[in-house]
Chains A and B, each alone.
Chain A
Amino acid sequence: MCPHCQKAMVIFELEGIEVDHCLHCRGTWLDSGELDHLIELAEVNPGCFTDALHQAKKGSKKEICCPRCNRNLHSVHIHDDLELDECPRGHGIWFDQGEIRRLVESFKEGEEGAVASFMANLLKSELASETS
């Protein structure tokens, strides 16, 4: 279920990673295990990426709920300008439309770049249409 529209999400299997995607609001849900798997596949040291997640400022409670456990999601601020929604129990992360693209942009440099470009590749066509 999409946290925003309360509609069924479609699961895409991209390179062995399952991404839950809402076709109404173009939001994306990444299960924690999938995120794990994604970093593994991108073959980078997960340290920097997770550090960014850890250091990120925990924000306030949001109105939307985790599709797995139905608890309210909490916002997290990464690199100051990017706000993601995270399940308080660690079920995964919710990306609103456009947030994946911004995440990719803000992680362009260094080792995280590999993860970012990997992610960009996953939703190639959709990201392209967003920027145009």
Chain B
Amino acid sequence: MLISIMALILMGLGAMCGGTFWGGAGAFLGALGALALWAVLLAATFLQGEQLVLLCSGGQKIEKEDCPRLYNVVEEMTIAAGLPKLPDIYVIEDAIPNAFAAGRNPKSAIVAVTTELLARLDRDELQGVIAHEVAHIKNLDVRFMTIASVMVGSIVMLSQTYVRLMFIGGKKRTCSKAGVHPAFMIAGIICALLAPIAARLLYFACSRKREFLADASAARFTRYPVGLASALEKISGRVLSSEKLNQALLPMYIVNPLQSMSAVGMFSTHPSTDERIKILRTMGGRAGLMDYENAFRKVKGKKSRCLGQRTLTSGESRGIQAREANDNPAESLGTLERFQEVTDLIGRMANLLMMQCSCGVKIKVPEEFDQDAIECPRCGTVNTLPRAKEKAQEEAPAPNLQQGVEQATVAGAAVAEAAFQTLRFERQGKGWESFRCSCDRVIQIAPSFRGEFIKCPRCKREVEVAEKVEEEVVTEEN
């Protein structure tokens, strides 16, 4: 296949290097050396550890409560693909709709999507995109592409060293030995210059093939190629939700959404989106790998093929019927609901405190906000922050605490919304202390803790931590 041609190029290059400097036997050694170089580089890349953390530094891992729709869709696709484990799901706050998968093996894979993608795509489309990413995981594409890219890297390295050596040391050598014919030297240099280009082209061809395979698998997993097709249309920015509007407001965008799509790095190794959409659309109510292959031939001409014979025969033989379009309004969230879902998700990711005014206006308060009350700009109601209510509570006599450690009492009798009920813990001394939050999570307080509130890592509730009050202990003893 393509990768073996790449390996041949690598070995040929190595042989050429060896041959020029040490003659016949050197060619064989050079080829082996080139392979060894590749192996060493590959080992280094794998040992470098998962770069996922780096990749997702802008993203946050989400749980089911954060975005049930996304979580469920990923779960569905995991089942459809028969992956051994649900991949971790990350959301990245970004104005460009995009998604990617990472992870070298299906057991520790991740799927990441941007908030914009969530806001734009409906369930079927999201399913298509996730299916595509899950297919990458299932087909071990990340591992494969790492191997291929390291090979490209070693070819580039080798050819550069060769050319340098020829220019620097070559002159002396040719003068002194005169054993190597100058024409051979020039041919060698040309070959060395061409090899990296050829390798890159092969790499891109590999990558594109994998994309087609992932598309085909996505169609097969979802049984609904139209979903992915329309998602691609939306992502590529051709069919924006309100075309006129976006055209008119283009200067208002952070980055031009039409331009940005061509700049998304990931897509440069992708086949043209037009083509992918066309193929998916010509599948015409069928969803098997075989059907994808047929559609591919229809679009690209009779002779071309995209999926290997092996992939095709290991799958179904007859092709698969696609499912019907899903036109139930109850299932698909409206644009507004989707938008809201995403803004809530972003808020939760940014650790904002959510409140609701009695007139229905949602108020999101950042942690560093320094006032106690917020006047609603719509109805004029003054909304007190829960932590301010806490302060008011503090002034009132606090309930007595027993000597035990697990003393977390609900101090929210006056607090209207149950969701914002706050817990209170009174410190017994200055050392390490722990107590149980109402969500059953044990929270530890370090001796160095000086703050007034501590956030429960599980339920995100703020728990007030009060200093020990001397007089109360006295009254308790009486």
Contacts and interface: CB of A to CB of B under 8 A. Distances in A.
A124 B378 contact: yes
Contacts, number: 97
B153 to A, nearest CB: 35
Nearest to A34: B343
A76 to B, nearest CB: 12
Interface in A28-70: 32-33, 35-37, 39-40, 45-47, 50, 53-54, 68
A94 to B, nearest CB: 14
A91 B252 CA distance: 7
A10 B363 contact: yes
Given A9-B366, A11-B352, A125 B380 contact: yes
Contacts of B362: 12-13
Interface string A1-27: 000000111111110101001010000
Contact of A8 (B248, B369, B376): B369
B246 interface: yes
B439 interface: no
A10 B364 contact: yes
B469 to A, nearest CB: 31
Interface residues of B, number: 35
Interface string B339-363: 1100100010000100000000111
Given A7-B370, A10-B365, A13-B361, A36 B252 contact: yes
Contact of B377 (A33, A47, A53, A125): A125
A33 B95 contact: yes
B377 A11 contact: no
Nearest to B119: A33
A123 interface: yes
Contact of B339 (A9, A35, A37, A91): A37
Contacts of B251: 54, 90
Nearest to A128: B380
Contacts of B379: 124-125
B378 A39 contact: no
A131 interface: no
A108 interface: no
Contacts of A13: 340, 343, 361-364
B242 interface: yes
A32 B253 contact: yes
A8 B363 contact: no
Contacts of B366: 8-11
A129 B368 CA distance: 27
